[in-house]
Chain A
Amino acid sequence: DQQVKQNSPSLSVQEGRISILNCDYTNSMFDYFLWYKKYPAEGPTFLISISSIKDKNEDGRFTVFLNKSAKHLSLHIVPSQPGDSAVYFCAASAVKSSYKLIFGSGTRLLVRP
């Protein structure tokens, strides 16, 4: 049973527009959420995180929104750039599970010039 789901395997957007990547989770014990970006043959690179006590966190072009009642989070990238093209993973963790990360299956983002 997947506890973290990314239902869109791929997303294509025009350069300069907004990219919205979505993630749903089922375990209400999760209290910390992260987004990672991954290029082929490399390890995941940390992008941004959010604690369950917040509903929004912003860092430059990246904003993460958390809707606890819906068990949903999203990553907004604006404006999107061709260099953002990569696979994006949503991950969740819980202090009671020693913060081990539970990952979604990823969304491949393509930003078209």
Chain B
Amino acid sequence: DTGVSQDPRHKITKRGQNVTFRCDPISEHNRLYWYRQTLGQGPEFLTYFQNEAQLEKSRLLSDRFSAERPKGSFSTLEIQRTEQGDSAMYLCASSLVAPGGETQYFGPGTRLLVL
């Protein structure tokens, strides 16, 4: 399977702990996006990379959140000092820049529960 993969699929942590999620995009895709989805809502944009450069961050991404994409391949999203409000599904998507529009393909997500 050459789709987007995410690890772990589920994470339960205690408030105040740090967590890190990994995303492996489709290999030829140069853009990678992170989204967050809470119950009853559509996914919300957090940040994106083109190759290894982080080009935009949403105001949803507080200082406790950091994302990296070393060498333009996989990406990690770290949340420091987790809070209960961080509980959500974290989704990664990748795409190939194309004229006229680009389609993002999503991974299965990491569901985070902060106790």
Contact = CB atoms under 8 A, between A and B. Distances in A.
A43 B106 contact: yes
Interface string A77-113: 0000000000001010101001111111110000000
Interface in A15-72: 31-32, 34, 36, 41-46, 49, 51, 53
Contacts of A43: 4, 6, 91, 93, 106-109
B43 interface: yes
Interchain residue pairs A-B with the least CB separation, the first 5: A103-B42, A32-B101, A43-B106, A100-B45, A43-B109
Interface of A: 4, 31-32, 34, 36, 41-46, 49, 51, 53, 89, 91, 93, 95, 98-106
Contacts of A105: 40-42
Interface residues of B, number: 29
A34 to B, nearest CB: 7
Contacts of A89: 42-43
Nearest to A94: B101
Given A42-B108, A42-B109, A103 B44 contact: yes
B48 interface: yes
Contacts of A42: 108-109
A98 B106 contact: no
A65 B22 CA distance: 36
Nearest to B47: A100
B95 interface: yes
